[in-house]
Amino acid sequence: MPSSLRVLYAAGPGNVIGTYQHWSQQKDDPSQVSVTYSGQFFEVCRELNANAYVISSCRDKRTLRDGAFILEHRPIPFRKATGLLYHAGQIWYGLRLAITAVRFRADVAVVADGTTHWFMLSLLPRLGVQVIPSLHCVLWRKFLPMRKLEKTALRWGKRLFQRDCRAILAISDDIAEQVAMITHRQHRTISIFTPVYRREQFALLKPPDEARSPFRVLFAGRIEPEKGVFDLLDIAKQTRSLSPNIVFDLCGDGSALDALRQAAATAGLADSFICHGHCDQSAMRRRYEASHAVIVPTRTDFVEGFNKVVVEGVLAGRPVVTSAACPALSAVREAVVEVPPNDIAAYAEALVTLMGDRAFYQQKQQACLKLQDRFYDPKRGWAARLKTLLLTCKSQNYGASALQPEYRET
């Protein structure tokens, strides 16, 4: 690989400067349980001797230059707006991204979803920059019809997936299938990747307490209504009537944290519905060790990605209760108790069954053990897929042969 390869990476909203500072000291970012994508990107660039410009939409606006890396936190304007103002912010951000790519003389741009509308990236090939979209969320809410503007943006964006990108990275079959749907299965090669974890993160984790007194259920994620946290409170109310021995531990921060705590107190559940706030790696380890099961009650009105908590529950050897609203389900289905989306009663019944039926619990727990190795294998991860694509970016031209009638894992 020539040393002149220049890669622009639009990484999403994470603190890429913080992750870089940990990576430069040969450490993982302690704020995340999985190996971060930006950390993986830095490693690929080091291996390929590439120069990189990394842009995050993190609200902490700042820039860092260090050797072959330029890192910038560049917030997206009007990100919290609705309607036309939101779309104007997306378009403006896409234009600025294209200008940066040209000024940086980028050979290729790797762009995560949430950065700009996909149709804006079709500008880049016309400016001499190859594009690799990196899809971590479904393109639209799986169980709800698309909004009018959403449908229009995707209709305009399908050209990117059909012919204007070099290839597509996707984290789940659900996402790949949506790309296939909007392009009528005439799209660039889709390479499926999995999140990657360090085996030592879970290797010495204590097994679930056999006494099950109480039976502890763990939720980890943003405390937001669309993540199902108020549904979770309703689930706790129902399980209290079915079995008073179930305790819910919630780890995470968000705009609804105070309201959720107050609602739990009002419902008389403060002792069995505990909001711990943000938890770092060591705190999450303690919470996983104390837990018996993991719950992911994401609602259908949320554009979900590959919810890593589903995988982390499996790696911790804890059965997971979730629905098809989570694209991660298809990767670990054997270890999951699947319920219909948004069904409070079904979630409650699943937890009561896991608590009371030890044979069923052990069956799911054994399935967890069988599924774990794939998430410790870096060859299945984002970095390995990206490195393969970057190695071919300068040696292969676009052509009709690059179109694939079906997606596949490469």
Q: Do both 371 and 381 map to the same domain? A: no
pTM: 0.87
Residues 53 and 176 in one domain: yes
Query: For residue 214, is the peptide bond before it cis, meaning its omega torsion is within 30 degrees of 0?
Result: yes
Q: Rounded CA gap, 319 and 322, in Å?
A: 10
Paired sense of beta strands 336-338 and 320-322, if any? parallel
Whether 261 is in a domain gets the answer yes
Q: How far is CA 194 from CA 306, 376, 404, 407, in A?
A: 9, 9, 21, 15
Residues 12 and 137 in one domain: yes
Alpha-carbon gap, residue 199 to 221, rounded angstroms? 21
Pick from 225, 5, 35, 229: nearest CA to 109: 5
Q: What is the CATH number of the domain that holds 84?
A: 3.40.50.2000
Give the span between the Cα atoms of 215 and 336, in whole angstroms.
17
Amino acid at 226: E
Residue 100, in any domain of the structure: yes
3-state SS, residue 56? strand
CA angle 377, 379, 381 (to 5 degrees): 80
Q: Is residue 206 part of a domain?
A: yes
pLDDT at 410: 39
Domain match, 40 and 184 both: yes
34, part of any domain: yes
Do 251 and 293 belong to one domain? yes
Question: Is residue 259 domain-shared with residue 359, that is, in the same domain?
Answer: yes
- Domain assignment present for residue 1? The answer is no
User: Cα angle at 6 between 71 and 124, to 5 degrees?
Assistant: 95
Range of the domain at 182: 6-196+377-404
Q: Is 410 among the domain residues? A: no
Give every CB contact of residue 26 below 8 A, 6+ residues apart in sequence.
Answer: none
Long-range pairs for 105-108: beta carbons < 8 A, 24 or more residues apart: 105/6, 106/6, 106/7, 106/8, 106/53, 107/4, 107/5, 107/6, 107/7, 107/393, 107/394, 108/5, 108/6, 108/7, 108/8, 108/132, 108/166, 108/390, 108/393
Same domain, residue pair 48 and 67: yes
Residue 124 lies in a domain: yes
Q: Do residues 41 and 187 both lie within one domain?
A: yes
Distance CA 312, CA 152 (A): 36
Residues 184 and 205 reside in one and the same domain:
no
Clarify whether residues 267 and 395 are in a common domain: no
Structural domains in the chain (count): 2
Provide the 10 A C-beta neighbour count for residue 71: 24
Q: Based on the fold, state whether residues 315 and 280 are members of the same structural domain.
A: yes
Per the domain annotation, does 409 fall within a domain? no
Amino acid sitting at position 223:
I
Q: Which amino acid is at 364?
A: K
Count CA atoms within 13 Å of residue 157 on its CB side: 23
| Residue ranges for the chain with pLDDT beneath 50 | 1-2, 397-410
Q: Measured between alpha carbons, how far is residue 347 from residues 155, 234, 350, 357 in Å?
A: 36, 10, 5, 15
243: left (phi over 0), alpha (psi -120 to 50) or beta: beta
126 and 136 together in one domain: yes
